[in-house]
Amino acid sequence: MPAEPCVNTPVPGADQYYPLNTPDIGEAFPPELYARNKDLPKLFQPLTLKGVTFKNRIFVSPMCQYSSDYGHATDWHLVHLGGYATRGVGAICIEASAVVPEGRISPEDAGLWTDSQIAPLQRIVNFVHAQGTKIGIQLAHAGRKASTLAPWVHSNAPRTKVAKSQVAHEDENGWPDQVYGPSEIPFASDYPKPKAMTEEDIQYVEDAFVSAVERCKKIGFDFIELHMAHGYLFHSFLSPLSNVRSDVYGGPALENRLRFPLRAAARVRSVWADKPLFVRISATDWAEGPEKGEDGVWKQWGIEQSKVFVGECEKIGVDLIDCSSGGNWAAQKITVGEGYQVPFAEALKKAHPNMIVGAVGMITLPRSAESFLSSGKADVVFLARELIRNPHWALTAAKELGVAVKPANQYERGWAELVIRH
């Protein structure tokens, strides 16, 4: 009988030819093939949320690239994000994408406020899916931190160019007179002064989030993350430092400050019903003094209010809390180090054991990441800067932890130690 033909099998249904990886890139081989995979480290155990299975628990954090063309993704994003998909991560979250043009952080930030932004994102999603990786997007509104210069435009690394202000003015493609927040309190003296949002403004932004979700459906994202951290619009509503309104959306009452973020999340959940919904929060403002004063009044946003907020998110069906911190108080003082924000994730996990919690912040060492998960402090890790330095981090972690995972077919020769059977 003639030998069965040997074919470089393509990915079925892909929009162009890509070799099929079996198992998926970054997925652990079955223990029947590699006995050392019988007891997988938590980092390489799959996670299923709302029917979506992530092959491992190494997630790419949203990373602003300041490289969009009036909100439209470019080939920079395809290469940047596609590279992670070919190197074994479990999920990729596209950077903060504004739901309205004035909700961008910088003039070159990503957006999803118009249908013309669908196609370039869909190209990225199709490529990432063809590599067997899940991908989502972080929907955002910058609030009072909008219309600011990209970091290297404001101050480049060698400090040979430093702008006088953070503000992106009209002749710098900015919109400083169309910046909005809960109150007329700028983030810092060199930031735009925001306009206090009216009821109509709040409804307009909420509706924009819903419209962006409908575009997410057309694009084919696997999950959505709502950006409620780092001093941007939703976080600024949550914190008493930035929200001094006297209506139902603000002031000292925690219930009022939660109202708009929770209402927006509930509406997104209602239209994004069948796939995972993440929420990124800042667990603390890192401002001086206590979270609550001796008079019983909340002084700043902190972990105790975050626990309440996460509990309410759980009630409306949020699937994962991405736990970060800071960004709302310009004078914040933070001592950073390996996993410095993990204690916040741990506190939220203890308060809400059924909520899936992600840890983020200076997670660089595979054994540290594994310890955070195996000890129950978090369920997934989000990496950003370490992946910039080492895009192959997932494969590096597998090697260090003794796990046999699948490198991309095209890269197997560089990762022979992961696939050689003894």
38 CA to centre of own chain: 31
Local structure of residue 38 (DSSP, 8 states): S
For residue 97, what is the enclosing H or E element? strand 91-98
Query: DSSP secondary structure string, 380-408?
Result: EEEESHHHHH-TTHHHHHHHHHT--B---
In a 3-state reduction of DSSP, which class is residue 191?
Answer: coil
Q: Tokens 């699937």 sit at which residue?
A: 319
CA torsion sign for 396, 401, 402, 403 is: negative
Q: What are phi and psi of 264, to 5 degrees?
A: -65, -45
In a 3-state reduction of DSSP, which class is residue 254?
Answer: helix
Angle at 419 between CA 418 and CA 422, to 5 degrees: 100
Choose the catalytic residue: 34, 180, 191, 232: 232
Buried b (16+ CB within 10 A) or exposed e, 321-346: bbbbbbbbbeeeeeeeeebebbebbb
Instruction: Assess whether 232 carries a catalytic annotation.
Output: yes
Asked whether 63 and 54 are in contact (CB, 8 A), the reply is no
Separation of alpha carbons 71 and 137, rounded Å: 13
- For 189-284, list the strands marked E by DSSP: 195-196, 223-228, 277-282
- Residues near 368 by Cβ (< 8 Å), separated by ≥ 6? 338, 339
In a 3-state reduction of DSSP, which class is residue 8?
Answer: coil
In a 3-state reduction of DSSP, which class is residue 415?
Answer: helix
Strands 195-196 and 110-111, bridge-based pairing: unpaired
Rg (CA), the chain: 22
- Catalytic machinery residues: 232
